[in-house]
Chains A and B, each alone.
Chain A
């Protein structure tokens, strides 16, 4: 078996020590070694966005991020951020507006959307579409996802 190394990570606010191949990507470590399964492998090349997670609040591709570089940084994934008010509002609107079909893109999409709303309280629809353009959704045609993000933005701005 490939040589493993012990990494100290902070995942969704919890400090964990995890043994992972020394050159593992964050996506591999999260999924295979920590069983944090909400980041998905849709391409392993940085294109699809299904693996998007937050590192210190900033969305990055976990498939292009080396675990070794994440020590000392906070990693956030959609399944472990229940307390986050922006995310919770987005989630509610995604459900209501029909922004979820197969759901495979949803976690990554929400990471990008959360970053947008944290930076830009009242984005235009165009700004929303730009912010989400790195997350491919093959099911919804994006329309209901943009609706959901705009709906959440409006609710949060109130």
Chain B
């Protein structure tokens, strides 16, 4: 559904203006990291570990250094003891002393061409002493399991992780009395669910380009979701003062979490420092699969109980999460999954507990949804199971238990705005109409909440001499359109035409801090800072105008098009006149800046017990409902989606079209997760690290009838009421598909993905094949 934008007031907010970078992109002129070249630039390549777990006893670089074109080689010997990590600082810039997974970077070469660098990598000899490997979280918890991180106890941790042995972290959240509550339940469902690792497959593989100036200061461009996280990670791992590294971004070929924390930026910087020349390092697709990160596989044990009337009384959820070799964002993912595992329902008695275990695999990390899709896959199926047992309609049972604005979320966050009920209504109305061809629908429903928020952000709004605006936020636009949306917010606050706001590219030298393009947060948090900064510009301009028009500020009004005038009079002054005065005569150039950190506590100790909670402060809540209508191929068991609807409460759609595209894109990525995508390990080695073997949906594998419905329940703190929309469209998809498959085949699947093979086996077991 497209919102009728003509009905919305204002100059910019609520309008589907095309993204500011679309023109350069359709013309093939957008510059991504691989498109950057500097004079004298070398090309880098990485040697990956062939072992899952081994001691590095030494390197022989003789042959590689003598190979044609080679200028420098970096190994663990070249980096200090520094370690990086968002929650637990456990990761060196490059393997040092030990390798922890097949594919881990062990050495890197800078040479004149990429081919030469790659060839030279093969000439590096590494002396390994193999160690037994841990290939599953269950194995990692065994008493005699080999230990990945011997110095885990000494690592810096930003929260009470409870780390020990291979246990990276543990979290437990309790509210109410779950054990006592089972007695109140008339029906209880219980089950174990597993989800598979999913690869991000940003179409642009990760890459970086670093150069060092004669004074030793580093400039680094990279494919990223936060120039500031890049700066912090590189400096932590290489022991550089942050002032010695400038981090920037070209256009980014999407990031779904994989470009938030570091990938190969520290290695690229180390190579450039050693080679004393610019070095560009671009991963191959295979390396991007093997070296970066992926969505966590979860094992979820869940139990949910309800009264005969459908009121949910209690839920218990226990997760076992594969961390991979490094903590990365994993403690956050698990903690967040536990916080969200109740779904958007009022459940008075809840216990959620999890263990995160190091294994000798690629690190698992942030991926759109951040643990929410995994627990929802379990939770939303259990809601349907309860409904089945009670003979209730899936819409009805959900409606009966929905959260509402003013509620307190599990363990303590406040739900200040909530359009969940409207999302559910909208989807019900659309999805319960019969198919056009009269064949029966196989509907599956799933609903979700997601936060947008977290941590620090800032904005600087500068009025240029001619009264137009330069906006600088430090938020990386990874293609989702945040530059456009933030410019819309800025333009709206200043009542300027959208075109008069230019957005600066993030640069740690010149941009205010921004934690990153993650957690569905940019529109909400950075939008707030932009609005605040723009308001300060208005205030300064008003002060000038008061002097120029010789009247009190209270009598002035901001008018469309960058003018300030006296209420009730036609005379006014333009931003150009005001800014000229400020620049050349009185007061100085007009600059508004604002910063904030999301500061509402996650945990209310009076309500709940929270152990090992990685987010003391979290965010505001968005909501969504998704219904899918599936077809099952009777020969192969393969699931295809005939039609799908997602209604999302985004607070306020600053740019409705961009919200819709988030919902479409999230749906399809979720559909891939639900039915086909799976990273498969053959022992310690990833068996399908290529797009030939790891498949994502193509244009022919997605429903044409894909509907996005925008619901607006404005959040009191959001800019113009806006909340996030980046992840919420993916979350409900696996659960909705599983519910639809259960409806269609009579068999309920507890393991993802729902491949043709699994579904066919289910049909055979249910006697519906």
Q: Which residues of A contact B (CB under 8 A)?
A: 1-2, 21, 31-32, 35, 37-38, 40-45, 47-48, 50, 77-80, 82, 90-91, 94-96, 98, 100-107, 110, 125-126, 128-130, 132-146
Instruction: Establish whether residues A91 and B665, one from each chain, have CB atoms under 8 Å apart when the complex forms.
Output: no
CB of B113 within 8 Å of the partner chain: yes
Q: How far is A94 from B22 in the complex, measured between Cα atoms in Å?
A: 8
Query: Max chain A CB contacts within 10 Å: which of B30, B32, B68, B702?
Result: B30
Instruction: Establish whether residues B704 and A1, one from each chain, have CB atoms under 8 Å apart when the complex forms.
Output: no
Look across to chain A and name the residue whose beta carbon is closest to the beta carbon of B24.
Answer: A103
Smallest CB–CB gap between A96 and chain B, Å? 6
Residues of A within 8 A of B50 (CB): none
Instruction: Establish whether residues B285 and A1, one from each chain, have CB atoms under 8 Å apart when the complex forms.
Output: no
A101 and B28 in contact, given A138-B203, A142-B699 (Cβ under 8 angstroms): no
Residue-wise, chain B 10-24 has the 8 Å CB interface mask toward A (1 for contact) of: 000000101101111
Smallest CB–CB gap between A7 and chain B, Å? 17
Residues of B within 8 A of A130 (CB): 699-700
Instruction: Establish whether residues A137 and B26, one from each chain, have CB atoms under 8 Å apart when the complex forms.
Output: no
Which residue of A95, A129, A136 is within 8 Å of B704 (Cβ)? A129
A-B contact pairs, 18 of them (CB 8 A): A40-B203, A42-B203, A42-B691, A45-B285, A45-B690, A95-B18, A98-B657, A100-B21, A100-B25, A101-B665, A106-B28, A133-B700, A136-B203, A138-B202, A138-B669, A141-B661, A144-B660, A146-B699
Which residue of B26, B32, B256, B282 is within 8 Å of A104 (Cβ)? B32
A102 and B28 in contact, given A45-B691, A129-B700, A143-B706 (Cβ under 8 angstroms): no
Instruction: Establish whether residues A144 and B664, one from each chain, have CB atoms under 8 Å apart when the complex forms.
Output: yes
> Given A38-B29, A138-B254, 14 more contacts at CB 8 Å?
A2-B116, A31-B34, A40-B34, A44-B284, A78-B28, A101-B481, A101-B665, A103-B25, A104-B253, A125-B704, A130-B700, A138-B200, A143-B702, A144-B657
Smallest CB–CB gap between A22 and chain B, Å? 12
Question: Considering only CB atoms and an 8 Å cut-off, how many residues of chain B contact the other chain?
Answer: 62
Instruction: Establish whether residues B204 and A42, one from each chain, have CB atoms under 8 Å apart when the complex forms.
Output: yes
Instruction: Establish whether residues B30 and A103, one from each chain, have CB atoms under 8 Å apart when the complex forms.
Output: yes
Instruction: Establish whether residues B253 and A102, one from each chain, have CB atoms under 8 Å apart when the complex forms.
Output: yes
A47 and B699 in contact, given A102-B203, A102-B252, A140-B664 (Cβ under 8 angstroms): no
Instruction: Establish whether residues B23 and A107, one from each chain, have CB atoms under 8 Å apart when the complex forms.
Output: no
The 5 closest A-B pairs by CB, nearest first: A102-B479, A38-B28, A103-B25, A104-B253, A141-B664
Q: How far is A31 from B28 in the complex, measured between Cα atoms in Å?
A: 13
Q: How far is A138 from B259 in the complex, measured between Cα atoms in Å?
A: 15
Look across to chain A and name the residue whose beta carbon is closest to the beta carbon of B477.
Answer: A102
CB of B35 within 8 Å of the partner chain: yes
Residues of B within 8 A of A140 (CB): 661, 664-665
Residues of B within 8 A of A141 (CB): 661, 664-669, 702, 706
A103 and B251 in contact, given A50-B203, A95-B18 (Cβ under 8 angstroms): yes
Which residue of B16, B252, B691 is within 8 Å of A47 (Cβ)? B691
Instruction: Establish whether residues B665 and A44, one from each chain, have CB atoms under 8 Å apart when the complex forms.
Output: no
Q: How far is A47 from B286 in the complex, measured between Cα atoms in Å?
A: 12
A1 and B28 in contact, given A42-B204, A129-B699, A138-B254 (Cβ under 8 angstroms): no
Look across to chain B and name the residue whose beta carbon is closest to the beta carbon of A106.
Answer: B25
Residues of B within 8 A of A139 (CB): 203, 254, 479-480, 661, 665
Q: How far is A132 from B692 in the complex, measured between Cα atoms in Å?
A: 17
Which residue of A43, A78, A133 is within 8 Å of B691 (Cβ)? A43
Q: How far is A104 from B252 in the complex, measured between Cα atoms in Å?
A: 8
Instruction: Establish whether residues A48 and B203, one from each chain, have CB atoms under 8 Å apart when the complex forms.
Output: yes
Instruction: Establish whether residues A101 and B661, one from each chain, have CB atoms under 8 Å apart when the complex forms.
Output: yes
A1 and B481 in contact, given A136-B698, A140-B665 (Cβ under 8 angstroms): no
Residues of B within 8 A of A31 (CB): 34
Q: How far is A38 from B29 in the complex, measured between Cα atoms in Å?
A: 7
Within 8 A of A (CB), among B685-710: 690-692, 696, 698-700, 702, 704, 706
Q: How far is A100 from B251 in the complex, measured between Cα atoms in Å?
A: 13
CB of B212 within 8 Å of the partner chain: no
Instruction: Establish whether residues B29 and A104, one from each chain, have CB atoms under 8 Å apart when the complex forms.
Output: no
Instruction: Establish whether residues B116 and A1, one from each chain, have CB atoms under 8 Å apart when the complex forms.
Output: yes
Look across to chain A and name the residue whose beta carbon is closest to the beta carbon of B672.
Answer: A138
Instruction: Establish whether residues B661 and A144, one from each chain, have CB atoms under 8 Å apart when the complex forms.
Output: yes
Residues of A within 8 A of B202 (CB): 102, 104, 138
Q: How far is A106 from B26 in the complex, measured between Cα atoms in Å?
A: 6
Residues of A within 8 A of B38 (CB): none
A98 and B691 in contact, given A91-B27, A146-B699 (Cβ under 8 angstroms): no
Smallest CB–CB gap between B727 and chain A, Å? 14
CB of B478 within 8 Å of the partner chain: yes
Residues of A within 8 A of B665 (CB): 101, 138-141
Q: How far is A97 from B164 in the complex, measured between Cα atoms in Å?
A: 52
Look across to chain A and name the residue whose beta carbon is closest to the beta carbon of B700.
Answer: A133
Query: Max chain B CB contacts within 10 Å: which of A82, A103, A128, A142?
Result: A103
Instruction: Establish whether residues A37 and B704, one from each chain, have CB atoms under 8 Å apart when the complex forms.
Output: no
Instruction: Establish whether residues B26 and A41, one from each chain, have CB atoms under 8 Å apart when the complex forms.
Output: no
Residues of B within 8 A of A38 (CB): 28-29
CB of B357 within 8 Å of the partner chain: no
Query: Max chain A CB contacts within 10 Å: which of B35, B479, B669?
Result: B479
Q: How far is A41 from B205 in the complex, measured between Cα atoms in Å?
A: 8
CB of B37 within 8 Å of the partner chain: yes
Residues of A within 8 A of B68 (CB): 1
Smallest CB–CB gap between B575 and chain A, Å? 28
Smallest CB–CB gap between B441 and chain A, Å? 20
Look across to chain B and name the residue whose beta carbon is closest to the beta carbon of A42.
Answer: B203
Q: How far is A35 from B29 in the complex, measured between Cα atoms in Å?
A: 12
